[in-house]
Amino acid sequence: MNAKGTEAEGGFPTPRRATRQVRVGSVLIGGGAPVVVQTMTKTDTRDVAATVAQIRRAHAVGCELVRVAVPDEQAAEALREIVRESPLPVVADIHFDYRLALLAIDAGAAKVRINPGNIGGREKLRAVVRAAQERGVALRVGVNSGSLERELREKYGGATAEAMVESALRAVGQVEELGFSDIVVSLKASDVARTVQACRLFAERSDCPQHLGVTEAGLPPAGTVRSAVALGILLGEGIGDTMRVSLTAPPEEEVRAGWEILRAVGLRTRGPVIVSCPTCARCEIDLVALAEAVRERVEEISAPLHLAVMGCAVNGPGEAREADVAICGGKGCGVVVRRGEIVGRFAEGELLEAFLAEVRAAARELEEGGRR
Residue 281 burial (10 A CB sphere; 0-12, 13-18, 19+):
exposed
Reported confidence tier of residue 29, pLDDT bands at 50, 70, 90: very high
Helix (H, G, I), strand (E, B) or coil at 242: strand
Reported confidence tier of residue 1, pLDDT bands at 50, 70, 90: very low
pLDDT tens for 293-327 read: 999 999 878 888 999 999 887 777 888 888 999 99
Residue 372 pLDDT more than 60? no
Reported confidence tier of residue 370, pLDDT bands at 50, 70, 90: low
Separation between Cα atoms, residue 36 and residue 64, nearest integer Å: 6
What single letter denotes the amino acid at residue 283? Answer: C
Report residue 186: phi and psi, to 5°. -125, 140
E strand or H helix that includes residue 29:
strand 27-29
Which of 42-56, 73-87, 196-210, 353-367 is least confident? Answer: 353-367
Reported confidence tier of residue 8, pLDDT bands at 50, 70, 90: very low
Cα–Cα distance list, 220 to 215, 234, 247 (Å): 14, 21, 7
Report residue 122: phi and psi, to 5°. -65, -45
Q: Which strands sit side by side in the sheet containing 341-347, from one edge to the other? A: 273-276, 306-310, 325-329, 333-338, 341-347
Residue 98 pLDDT more than 80? yes
Provide CB contacts within 8 A for 322, sequence distance 6+.
306, 308
Q: What is the mean pLDDT of residues 150-162?
A: 93
Please measure the distance between the N-terminal and C-terminal CA atoms of the chain and give it in whole angstroms: 19
Alpha helix positions (H), the chain = 48-60, 73-85, 98-107, 122-135, 150-156, 161-176, 192-205, 222-236, 251-264, 287-297, 316-322, 348-371
Give the alpha-carbon dihedral of 255, 259, 261, 265, to 10 degrees: 160
Reported confidence tier of residue 85, pLDDT bands at 50, 70, 90: very high
187-190 LR contacts (CB < 8 Å, sep 24+): 187/143, 187/161, 188/142, 188/143, 188/144, 188/145, 188/213, 188/214, 188/215, 188/246, 189/144, 189/145, 189/159, 189/161, 189/164, 189/214, 189/215, 190/145, 190/146, 190/214, 190/215, 190/216, 190/217
Report residue 293: phi and psi, to 5°. -65, -40
Residue 330 pLDDT more than 80? yes
Helix (H, G, I), strand (E, B) or coil at 82: helix
Separation between Cα atoms, residue 95 and residue 100, nearest integer Å: 8
Report residue 141: phi and psi, to 5°. -90, 115
Per DSSP, 311 falls in state -
Reported confidence tier of residue 181, pLDDT bands at 50, 70, 90: very high
pLDDT tens for 184-218 read: 999 999 999 999 999 999 999 999 999 999 987 78
Do the beta carbons of residue 138 and residue 111 sit within 8 Å?
A: yes
Do the beta carbons of residue 231 and residue 212 sit within 8 Å?
A: yes
pTM, 2 dp: 0.87
Q: What is the mean pLDDT of residues 328-351?
A: 90
Cα–Cα distance list, 190 to 67, 241, 292 (Å): 19, 20, 30
The answer to whether the Cα torsion of 73, 78, 84, 89 is positive or negative is negative
Q: What are the structural domains, with CATH classification, of the chain?
A: 22-264 (3.20.20.20), 273-371 (3.30.413.10)
Per DSSP, 18 falls in state P
What pLDDT, on a 0 to 100 scale, did the predictor assign at position 307? 94
Residue 362 pLDDT more than 70? yes
Separation between Cα atoms, residue 184 and residue 112, nearest integer Å: 10
